[in-house]
Amino acid sequence: MDARIKAAIFLPNLEIGGAENLVLNLIEAFLESDEFAFHLVLLGRGGKLTDRAMALRGRNDFQFTELGLPLAYGWSAAKVLNRFLTLQGITLIHSHLYECDKTCVLLKLLNPRVKIISTKHSTLRHPWKTAAMNFLSQFLFAKIVFITPYQREFYRRNYLVFRNTALVENGAVLPIADPGAAPVSPGQGEREIRLACIGSFRREKGQDILITALNILGRKSVRFRCDLFGDGPDRDKLEKAMEPGANVHFNEARPGISGELHRFDLIIIPSRREGSCLIMLESFLAKVPVLASDYPVLAEKAGGGRRSALFKSEDAADLAGKIEAFLENPADQRRLVEPAYRYALDFSIGRTAENYLRLYREAAGGEETSMAVAGPTQRNMESHDT
Q: What is the phi/psi pair of residue 166, to 5°?
A: -145, 150
pLDDT digits 0-9 by tens, 36-61: 999 999 999 999 999 999 999 989 99
pLDDT digits 0-9 by tens, 301-320: 999 999 999 999 999 999 99
Mean pLDDT of 74-83: 91
Percent of the chain with pLDDT strictly greater than 90: 71
Dist. CA 173–CA 58, nearest whole Å: 22
Query: Which domains are present in the chain?
Result: 5-171+348-384 (3.40.50.2000), 179-345 (3.40.50.2000)
Dist. CA 374–CA 87, nearest whole Å: 43
pLDDT digits 0-9 by tens, 147-181: 999 999 999 999 999 999 999 999 988 766 544 44
pLDDT of res. 385: 47
pLDDT of res. 146: 95
Question: CB of 275 within 8 A of CB of 147?
Answer: yes
Dist. CA 104–CA 73, nearest whole Å: 10
pLDDT digits 0-9 by tens, 234-286: 999 999 999 988 899 999 998 888 889 999 999 999 999 998 899 999 999 99
Single pTM value for the model: 0.87
pLDDT digits 0-9 by tens, 333-364: 889 999 999 999 999 999 999 999 999 999 99
Dist. CA 24–CA 247, nearest whole Å: 34
* Residues forming beta bridges with residue 29, ordered by sequence position: none
> What is the number of alpha carbons within 13 Å of residue 103 lying toward its C-beta?
27
Q: Reply yes or no on whether the pLDDT at 372 is more than 80.
A: no
Dist. CA 210–CA 226, nearest whole Å: 10
Dist. CA 271–CA 340, nearest whole Å: 19
Closest CA to 114 of 95, 137, 91: 91
pLDDT of res. 382: 55
pLDDT of res. 300: 94
Beta-sheet strand order (sheet of 194-198):
248-251, 225-229, 194-198, 266-269, 290-293, 309-311
